[in-house]
Amino acid sequence: MAYCILEVVLDTPLNSSFDYRWPCQPGEEPQAGQLVLLPFARREVIGLIVAIKHDTEVPPEKLKDALDVRSQLSPLPERWIALARFAAEYYQRPVGEVALPGLPKNLRVPKTVALDRALKKLARLDPVQDATATGMPVLNPAQQEAAAAIGQAEGFTPLLLYGVTGSGKTEVYLQACAQVLARDPSAQILVMVPEINLTPQLEGNISARFPGVMLATLHSSLSEGERMLHWLAAHQGQARIILGTRLAILASLPNLKLIVIDEEHDPSYKQQEGLRYSARDLAVWRARQLGIPIVLGSATPSLESWHHAQSGRYRRLELRERAVRDAVLPGVRLIDTERDRPRDGLTGELLKALRQRLERGEQSLLFLNRRGYAPVISCDACGWISNCTRCTAFMVLHKPENRLRCHHCSLELRIPRHCPTCGNVDLQPLGRGTQRVEEGLQAMFPEARVLRIDADSTRRKGSAQAAFETVHRGEVDILVGTQMVAKGHDFKNLTLVGILNPDTALFSQDYRASERLFAQLMQVAGRAGRAGGAVSEVLVQTRYASHPLYGAVMRHDYERFAGSLLDERREAGLPPFMYQALLRAEARELPIAIEFLEQARDCLPAGGILVNDPIPMTMTRVHNVDRAQLLVESASRPALQAFLREWVELLRAMKSRVKWSLEVDPLDI
């Protein structure tokens, strides 16, 4: 019997590939990109073939046979493997740890029932698709220009679609999709959104406009069966439009011709655990690799993208006005909470505005980025406060469940009846979260229909969508919510946005806090007055009414604000003018983590890299683990990359028992 050697990568922290033997006749070898079932460390695991060879350095007695090549599945394209290789190199991870977790779970199990079932299902579908778009509205001139620029772009073209909230960016995307599909009916288009909750709205729009085209969705709340089916539809080129959250960037899309990233500035494009990739950055890489256009859309672009647009690397497209006739950006007013003291968190001005909306039958939205009832409870008598015993954080009061909850380690306790230190029975909630605001509103406006939307109220699958639908149907008068309600939603009858307590971010140590706060306020303000007609306004309750950030929000002046932030970053030597990586260490005790980082610093390879001191993370302890970090920086990305490659080798060789991880381009430092 003849054999060939399969070189495979596996989902292991080992940074190497493995050789296996596979019996086959010459000319019938498997191909790179195929999946294969293998014996590995007394288990059966799935690997990805990256090369076919005829000999190996593995001694014959150690060479194992592969168990099954998944020949029913077409190979993952070479360019997809190149993407995984790039991401692995860039983020300093083994290729297998990038490539395999990117595949649906059902492909990574010994049994093939799920795969075979999905294949059968897709084979039964009509192969003919009608890419004609229907019901397209007439675009305004600015939209037309933008859509044409995207639709006609050739080769790698990054376009920044900078359009105010409600300027009709979605229509531009849809029109551009229509143009691409009209030219090439088998083209695939990837559309990414930052939040799962935004997929139903866009899914509805896309399937209404392209009724004859197969649409696949990829996000984390699909069941494994659905995920398999949708992934496969994309991989086989059947799905023409693929709508997803950040994980969709790792989908196999053999005929990808256009990428759209909506709300490109959104931090949720950054994966915060495991492979900490930026889906936006990978998307730009992918577009360059394939030589295709990519659209980055936002009313408040990330400073990185804005900087590229300023320097001409990205082409800027602009929508300065709202798309709906008569719809204008809402007026923004600041309410000084020193003068107008809030009652139940709401100032007199805001209450008056709410009352007006109720009388007119219009909807209001109150935005507060803090869930729960109160962020902490305390004892007036002795000063005890509800600290989490496992984290550097407070236990948050959740009133509906009568619980204290830590939002970082999920510790849950019953609310103590009396103070654990002095026995005082009068424990007080301090501050307020969405639950408390909701309660206050219900007491003040008993006839109003108040709905709270946050991570707590939408735990059940489908409940977020149901909640948003009740708002769209007009069955809600006052909506209270966290950032979940701030993004992207096209509420038609909403004319008042109240922003409660945004001030904390003004004084954050995180240098990105003001960029984020500004984007968030512009986003949430942008939910008001989208349909035109009624006068809409945004009221911001603040103690710092003269802060320049609020001035910029009042003027809807992203450009000047971004300009001044970029100047500050340039002066201070911060991204996007500097490239950073963060080494994190976790240990039972902080000194152990710090000591590890000091050792890591001592074994640094030479090179023009700026190395900071190891410091505890702002939230030092989470779930009884202490965390510290070491920041390294360079003005040159290639220099940083070269340095990291060497450093990671040295770190791996250190054999420390400390758990460490490296993050490239960290967002939170």
Site string for ligand ADP, 189-218 (x = CB under 6 A): ------------------------------
What's the min distance (Å) between Cβ of 40 and Zn ion?
A: 36
Contact residues for 272 (Cβ-Cβ < 8 A; gap 6+): none
Which position has the token pair 């707590």?
Answer: 456
Coil, helix or strand at residue 164: coil
Which position has the token pair 């469940």?
Answer: 401
Among residues 4, 139, 419, 640, the one that binds ligand ADP under rule CB under 6 A: 139
Site string for ligand ADP, 160-179 (x = CB under 6 A): ---x-xxxxxxx--------
Bridge partner list, 376: 430
Annotate 476-508 with b (16+ C-beta within 10 A) or e (fewer): bbbbbbbbbbbbbbbbebbbbbbbbbbbebeee
Q: How far apart are CA 107 and CA 98, in angstroms?
A: 15
SS (H, E, C) 231-261: HHHHHCCCCCEEEECHHHHHCCCCCEEEEEE
What's the min distance (Å) between Cβ of 400 and Zn ion?
A: 20
Site string for Zn ion, 321-360 (x = CB under 5 A): ----------------------------------------
Q: How far apart are CA 64 and CA 632, in angstroms?
A: 42
Which CB, 123 or 425, lies closer to Zn ion?
425
Among residues 315, 390, 403, 472, the one that binds Zn ion under rule CB under 5 A: 390
Site string for ligand ADP, 476-515 (x = CB under 6 A): --------------x-------------------------
Please report the DSSP string for 355-394 in residue order. HHHHHHT-EEEEE-S--SSBSEEEETTT--B-B-SSSSSB
Among residues 110, 137, 605, 607, the one that binds ligand ADP under rule CB under 6 A: 137
Which CB, 177 or 662, lies closer to ligand ADP?
177
What's the min distance (Å) between Cβ of 136 and ligand ADP?
A: 9
Chain-centroid distance of CA 463 in Å reads 20
Bridge partner list, 48: 9, 35
Among residues 381, 430, 444, 513, the one that binds Zn ion under rule CB under 5 A: 381
Which CB, 282 or 528, lies closer to ligand ADP?
528
139 binds, among ligand ADP, Zn ion, none (CB under 5 to 8 A by kind): ligand ADP
Contact residues for 330 (Cβ-Cβ < 8 A; gap 6+): 495, 497, 525, 528, 529, 536, 537, 538
CB count within 10 Å of CB 368 equals 24
Which residues, 636 to 665, sit near ligand ADP by CB under 6 A?
Answer: none
Which CB, 147 or 379, lies closer to Zn ion?
379
Of 17-25, 159-167, 332-340, 418-426, the segment contacting ligand ADP by CB under 6 A is: 159-167
Q: How far apart are CA 160 and CA 295, in angstroms?
A: 6
- Whether the ω angle into residue 576 lies within 30 degrees of 0, i.e. cis, is yes
Q: Does 391 bind Zn ion (CB under 5 A)?
A: yes
Among residues 148, 409, 534, 578, the one that binds Zn ion under rule CB under 5 A: 409
Chain-centroid distance of CA 323 in Å reads 27
505 binds, among ligand ADP, Zn ion, none (CB under 5 to 8 A by kind): none
530 binds, among ligand ADP, Zn ion, none (CB under 5 to 8 A by kind): ligand ADP
171 binds, among ligand ADP, Zn ion, none (CB under 5 to 8 A by kind): ligand ADP
Strand-pair category, 188-192 with 241-244: parallel
Which CB, 433 or 529, lies closer to ligand ADP?
529
Q: How far apart are CA 666 and CA 579, in angstroms?
A: 9
The one-letter amino acid code at 461 reads: K
Which CB, 73 or 329, lies closer to ligand ADP?
329
Q: Does 140 bind ligand ADP (CB under 6 A)?
A: yes
374 binds, among ligand ADP, Zn ion, none (CB under 5 to 8 A by kind): none
Which CB, 209 or 584, lies closer to ligand ADP?
209
Residue whose C-beta lies closest to ligand ADP = 168
Which residues, 419 to 458, sit near Zn ion by CB under 5 A?
Answer: 419, 421-422, 424
For residue 10 the two structure tokens come to 């596996």
558-572 and 513-525 helices, crossing angle to 10°: 170
Contact residues for 108 (Cβ-Cβ < 8 A; gap 6+): 11, 45, 46, 100
324 binds, among ligand ADP, Zn ion, none (CB under 5 to 8 A by kind): ligand ADP
Of 18-26, 138-146, 425-433, 641-649, the segment contacting ligand ADP by CB under 6 A is: 138-146
Interior CA angle at 243 toward 202 and 121, to 5°?
115
CB count within 10 Å of CB 300 equals 25
Q: Does 324 bind ligand ADP (CB under 6 A)?
A: yes
Which residues, 185 to 224, sit near Zn ion by CB under 5 A?
Answer: none
Q: How far apart are CA 351 and CA 338, in angstroms?
A: 16
CA nearest neighbour of 32 among 19, 49, 46, 7? 49
Q: How far apart are CA 529 and CA 537, in angstroms?
A: 8
The one-letter amino acid code at 345 reads: G
Which CB, 326 or 510, lies closer to ligand ADP?
326
Among residues 323, 365, 549, 585, the one that binds ligand ADP under rule CB under 6 A: 323
Of 71-79, 177-185, 231-239, 384-392, the segment contacting Zn ion by CB under 5 A is: 384-392
Q: Tell me the CA end-to-end span of the chain in Å, nearest whole number.
A: 57
Which CB, 166 or 194, lies closer to ligand ADP?
166
165 binds, among ligand ADP, Zn ion, none (CB under 5 to 8 A by kind): ligand ADP
619 binds, among Zn ion, ligand ADP, none (CB under 5 to 8 A by kind): none
DSSP 528: S
CA nearest neighbour of 328 among 489, 176, 165, 198? 165
CA nearest neighbour of 266 among 45, 477, 520? 520
Among residues 133, 153, 206, 388, the one that binds Zn ion under rule CB under 5 A: 388
Total residues at interface with ligand ADP (CB under 6 A): 17
What's the min distance (Å) between Cβ of 120 and Zn ion?
A: 47
What's the min distance (Å) between Cβ of 394 and Zn ion?
A: 9
Which residues here bind Zn ion, judged by CB under 5 A? 379, 381-382, 384, 388, 390-391, 406, 408-409, 411, 419, 421-422, 424
Which residues here bind ligand ADP, judged by CB under 6 A? 137-140, 143, 163, 165-171, 323-324, 490, 530
